[in-house]
Amino acid sequence: MAEVTAPAARTQGPAPRAERAVGRRGSFPVWRWVILLVAAVYFLLPCWAALRFAGIKAFGSVFSQAGFGSSIWLSLQLAFVTWLITMLLMVPTTVYVHLRVPRLRRVLETVTILPIVVPPVVLIVGVLQVMPLALRGSVWLLSLEYVILAMPFAYRAIDAGLRSIDVKTLTEASQSLGAGALTTLWRVLLPNLRTAVLSATILVVALVLGEFTMASLDLQTTFPVWIVEFDQLDAQMSVAASLFALVVTWALLMAITLIATRQSRRTGGGEVTLFTAGSRETIGN
């Protein structure tokens, strides 16, 4: 009799838990929808008001306004140079600290957060005071200043990516296969840090495309400076240009999200990939 009832008891055990799991899935998370609704109203209501003020016709003629093309091209150039310098500085530095001197991670976090503490006005005034006259008029000086502003965001994105993988194991495996330091960084670590680098990229680009204070004090007509100056001539066109910049930033964010999601599905979310000497090995957790 005991041999008959024991399997029945085992089969009936998981049933209540399964029913509770189905009940949890089917429950309606009202508080989540309330938060999403409040956030949507908070962000979309000003956009709707700006769109209503500017009008649909303003978007068609904003591209033909004087200074639009040159200002947005200058902002894109500054964004590319800033991203390039930031990646060349932050990626090797962050990897080296993780591998060789992990005790300095707190120090690096403190140093990279200083640009948030120091106001941009103080930073640009100090730079203009110490720089020679020949460099003050250079547009690339503004790019170097943007690198300082981008350090907190780029470092934390790259640091989060390094924390999600086993950097030491990947490095030792690459070195055991005969790869040098640069090869390990380029062919092993960077492919596994693709999402972190993309996140840092969108943060740097969004910062450069929206920064006004430094560019204005440096007498450079970037896209945000052009919007403010054009506002004195035609407010509707200026608002339409601001919405255009906002839409472009959102599109970049969506692109980063889609790329990161596809990469996570491709790797299964729990694997890292080792690229060395033309070969590819996938290591599961």
What is the pLDDT averaged over residues 57-63? Answer: 79
- Is 24 part of a structural domain of the chain? no
Q: What is the rounded CA–CA span in Å between residue 215 and residue 223?
A: 9
What is the pLDDT averaged over residues 159-173? Answer: 88
What is the rounded average pLDDT for all residues in the chain?
A: 79
- Is 73 part of a structural domain of the chain? yes
Q: What is the rounded CA–CA span in Å between residue 272 and residue 285?
A: 8
Q: Which amino acid is located at 128 in the chain?
A: L
CB 226 within 8 A of CB 76: no
What is the pLDDT averaged over residues 269-280? Answer: 48
Percent of the chain with pLDDT over 90: 14
Neighbours of 263 (CB within 10 A): 16
269 pLDDT band (50/70/90 cuts)?
Answer: very low
146 pLDDT band (50/70/90 cuts)?
Answer: very high
CATH at 181: 1.10.3720.10
User: What's the confidence (pLDDT) of residue 131?
Assistant: 80
- Is 54 part of a structural domain of the chain? yes
- Residue of 202, 285, 217, 208 whose CA lies nearest to 250: 202
- Is 61 part of a structural domain of the chain? yes
What is the pLDDT averaged over residues 5-14? Answer: 45
- Is 276 part of a structural domain of the chain? no
Residues 6+ apart with CB under 8 A from 85: 143, 144, 147
What is the pLDDT averaged over residues 129-141? Answer: 79
User: What's the confidence (pLDDT) of residue 9?
Assistant: 43
- Is 268 part of a structural domain of the chain? no
- Is 224 part of a structural domain of the chain? yes
Percent of the chain with pLDDT over 70: 80
- Is 1 part of a structural domain of the chain? no
Domain holding 206, by residue range, is 45-260
Report the domain count for the chain. Answer: 1
What is the pLDDT averaged over residues 30-58? Answer: 86
Tokens representing 106 are: 């707190």
Evaluate if residue 79 carries a pLDDT over 50: yes
Bigger pLDDT: 174 vs 282 = 174
User: What's the confidence (pLDDT) of residue 277?
Assistant: 46
The model's pLDDT over 223-259, given as tens digits with 9 standing for 90+, comes to 889 888 877 777 788 888 888 888 877 887 787 777 7
